[in-house]
Amino acid sequence: MIGKIIRQISNDYTVKADKLRVCKARGKFRNMNITPLVGDEVTINDENYILEIMPRKNELRRPPIANIDKAVIITSLKSPDFSSNLLDKLLTIIEYNNVKPVIIFTKKDLLNNKEYQELKPYIDYYSKIYEVYTNDEIDKIKKIFKGKVSVFTGQSGAGKSTLLNKLDKNLNLKTNEISIALNRGKHTTRHTELIEMEGGLVADTPGFSAIDFTGMTNDDIRDNFIEFNEFKGECEFRNCSHTHEKKCKVKEKVEDGTILKSRYENYLKFISR
């Protein structure tokens, strides 16, 4: 029968099939250097052994999870202060891993009018190229989970646990467990699990333990600043790096304000790491 791995603790895999089954992986996977991941679609037998792993559309290793539809980036506007560098880093890595990013800006209510006007151009810009919400749009946010597998990431203290409470009041008893698991720097969870949320599944994980560009080339970083791709065909050189070249359409678009300057500056920092 076919099922989905929704939890892994040590060598035990909880598979949601005709019912919840705690399964073991066949030894052949170890011999093939393959590790089943939460999110995997698998075939199992009546003895509760995983026989086959279906092809994955994507996977992350930290946290270990496969077949993710959306990565929900919780981004604080204040306390902690908004960081375009961290947001752009997460967006680039998530895009590279073939996962759809969703940005939720939190703590908008803490901003005074001047602070909001200063940050509004960022919110507006990201809204043009990504799916973006603010944390007061709860009814809209609830709809993003239906039929999807999502994972949360973002700044520590950005308001993940508060958002989870608003999304599902029945999580009250689990709030500490889930918020700790999703909040980098505070978590104690040592396993990855998919929990039900608004008709979909959300990964309760130990968090993104490393936010870096491991395995990515500078070309990969460039190509996953997705709005650059709209203009790269108009650059003089086919493989333009958008740095030193004189006739670069991307640099022109930065100068005329079409591309957000901070996005381009973060790009330059990332490729010079």
pLDDT in tens, 137-170: 999 999 999 999 999 888 778 887 788 778 877 6
Residue 106 exposure: Cα atoms within 13 Å on the Cβ side:
23
Question: Confidence band (pLDDT; 50, 70, 90) for 68?
Answer: very high
Domains located in the chain, CATH noted = 2-55 (2.40.50.140), 61-204 (3.40.50.300), 218-271 (1.10.40.50)
Report which of residues 186 and 273 the model is more confident about.
273
Angstrom distance (rounded) from CA 77 to CA 117: 12
Asked if the model's pLDDT at residue 190 lies above 70, the reply is: no
Please state, as a whole number, how many other Cβ atoms lie within 10 Å of the Cβ of residue 120: 11
Mean pLDDT computed over 44-68: 92
Helix residue spans in 61-129 (DSSP H): 84-96, 113-129
What pLDDT does residue 64 have? 85
Non-local (6+) Cβ contacts of 139 within 8 A are none
Angstrom distance (rounded) from CA 60 to CA 68: 9
Query: Residue 43, exposed/middle/buried by CB under 10 A (0-12, 13-18, 19+)?
Result: middle
Asked if the model's pLDDT at residue 179 lies above 70, the reply is: no
What pLDDT does residue 171 have? 62
Angstrom distance (rounded) from CA 96 to CA 59: 11
Non-local (6+) Cβ contacts of 212 within 8 A are 93
Asked if the model's pLDDT at residue 129 lies above 90, the reply is: yes
Residue 77 CA, distance from chain mean position = 18
Angstrom distance (rounded) from CA 249 to CA 240: 9
**Strands annotated E in the chain:** 2-9, 12-16, 20-25, 41-44, 49-53, 59-61, 64-66, 70-76, 100-106, 131-134, 149-154, 192-197, 200-204
